[in-house]
Structure 1
Amino acid sequence: MADDQQPERGPALDRPRPAPRLAFLASNAPDAQLAAKRLTRFYGAEPPETADVIVALGGDGFMLQTLHRFLGTEKPIYGMNRGSVGFLMNEFREDGLIERIVAAGRSVVHPLTMHATDIRGRTIEARAFNEVSLLRQSYQAAKLEIAIDDKIRLAELVADGVLVATPTGSTAYNFSVNGPILPLNAPLLALTPISAFRPRHWRGAILPDTARITIRVREPDKRPVAAVADHFEQRDTAEVVVGMEREVNLVMLHDPGHSLEERILNEQFGH
């Protein structure tokens, strides 16, 4: 090599990684809006379409809205709690955000798909990351027939309703109605009754996440039922078919030691 020649640089690993480009999205809460303004001033901001990571500022409800907005993109979403519970969120801090995101672990979740047909024969498709639930609309209890993979397993459930929860959603509404908590990486769904009257001792079922769950409403005119997929609701429902859409991935980022797996495990021990 001649004296005036410079040695070639090593592989790309020798060079520092560029900082991820961030987009900040905030709920309507004043604390979230203020946080978005301050973080944008500190770190700059990209449009969501060209950002490497979406930073969601709000509570769990806003995180679910953000997951729905970026469904199918596989764009990582890093949430920081500017709401109330914040189970899906990381702790809010303004400092060291780039370093936290680079060090964050990834949780991959899949949505449920709900096909709901109303009493007029109209079918609507919606997706849910927590749960699909059927809820009575009137003072009368719902009467529901439940089939798994086209085989009737429960001819009549008389209850306020029933829900199908993902592992992510198993700590939310499902847990509040005494459903089981599912490990995040378990290929399972929880089928849980809501205030069951008959069968009086039925506590629900744990199903493989490949199951196709069909719930038919008996006497839908007399006992109207609403079908809900996260924030979407269809009223006067006649039938709902639910299954997990495993080919659709959504990526959530969590600080080391605060993964969804760890939080779900903590819930089971009352932390």
Structure 2
Amino acid sequence: MTKIAIVASSSPTAQQGMARLTARYGNVPLAEAQVVVALGGDGFMLETMHSVLGRPTPVYGMNCGSVGFLMNGFEEEGLVERLAASQGAVLHPLRMHAVTQTGSVEEALALNEVSLLRQLRQTAKIRVSVDGRVRLPELMCDGILISTPAGSTAYNLSAHGPIVPLSANLLPLTPISAFRPRRWRGALLPSSADVLFEVLEGEKRPVAAVADSFEVRRVVSVAVSEERSIAVTVLFDPDHGLSERILAEQFAA
């Protein structure tokens, strides 16, 4: 992997790192790259992954941000050797199909999660169906989300959802501050599941749908399923693979 495209977030640390790496290894256009090296935090890494979705070009992240769960450590030395020794994790996104109150249709892909969130002070009312069968006739909540295994350690974990190993072929479905049924803690769905969220009393209780950073407001229904025909490969140093990080996160204090 000698044709390297180096991209960076707007932070001074990431920009300085890009300048140093470019001076040593060059920086080819994205269309010519064998690999993309992304400098920043998890948010910028997610943006970079979206930019190569469906392409064969893998992404290797180097942490110049705060969290860096999806990133490797930043080192100026030995980048080519690290890329050659790295291990890949293949991630499939979720496809969101949202219909708004005006009848418009919006689609987007999410590598972390698709979430429905109340827009105003009142709780949302949402009906949840899985594979054509209504599982929750009415969920009163601040919101609900469905995440990929890779995204299960992000917003899903903050909402007290379960962490899912990459190999599990499961999608966590997690409520956000459920009011009724109060004791419902969510579900683990097979990755083949087709999920439909229907917003009840949408005029009074408007709901927004968010696929990673793409937001649609005042939705009436949102369908979500895993898009197996699209993938992105993320590279990790051998001792910091994504599967190991997800496993280790389950034992974190």
Q: Which TM class, normalised by the smaller chain length? A: over 0.9
Alignment of 1:222-261 (within 5 A): 222-261=204-243
Residue aligning to 1:73: 55
Alignment of 1:148-187 (within 5 A): 148-187=130-169
Instruction: Find the residue that maps to 2:249 and give its secondary structure.
Output: helix
Q: 2:3 corresponds to which letter in structure 1?
A: R
Count of paired positions = 253
TM-score normalized by structure 2? 0.99
Q: 2:43 aligns with which of 32, 47, 61?
A: 61
CA deviations 1:53-97 (Å, max 9, x no partner) are: 000001100011011111110211000001110000000110011
Determine whether 1:144 maps to 2:126: yes
Q: 2:187 aligns with which of 200, 205, 208?
A: 205
Whose Rg is larger?
1
* In 2: Cα distance, 1:190 partner to 1:254 partner: 24
CA deviations 1:185-236 (Å, max 9, x no partner) are: 2111000000000001100000000000000000000000000000000011
Instruction: Find the residue that maps to 2:188 and give its secondary structure.
Output: strand
Q: In angstroms, what is the RMSD of aligned CA positions?
A: 0.7
Q: 1:235 corresponds to which letter in structure 2?
A: R
Q: 1:129 corresponds to which letter in structure 2?
A: L
Gaps of 5+ in 2: none
Q: 1:188 aligns with which of 160, 164, 170?
A: 170
* In 1: Cα distance, 2:56 partner to 2:142 partner: 36
Shift of 1:249: 1.3
* In 1: Cα distance, 2:99 partner to 2:85 partner: 44
Instruction: Find the residue that maps to 1:264 and give its secondary structure.
Output: helix
CA deviations 1:121-152 (Å, max 9, x no partner) are: 11100000000000000000000000001110
Instruction: Find the residue that maps to 1:196 and give its secondary structure.
Output: coil
CA deviations 1:20-39 (Å, max 9, x no partner) are: 21010001111111111110
Residue aligning to 1:221: 203
* In 1: Cα distance, 2:25 partner to 2:133 partner: 55
TM-score normalized by structure 1? 0.92
Alignment of 1:23-172 (within 5 A): 23-172=5-154
* In 1: Cα distance, 2:56 partner to 2:218 partner: 34
* In 2: Cα distance, 1:231 partner to 1:200 partner: 28
User: Sequence identity of aligned pairs in percent?
Assistant: 56
Residue aligning to 1:9: none
CA deviations 1:78-121 (Å, max 9, x no partner) are: 00001110000000110011000000000000000000111111
Gaps of 5+ in 1: 1-18
Instruction: Find the residue that maps to 2:48 and give its secondary structure.
Output: helix
Q: 1:57 corresponds to which letter in structure 2?
A: L
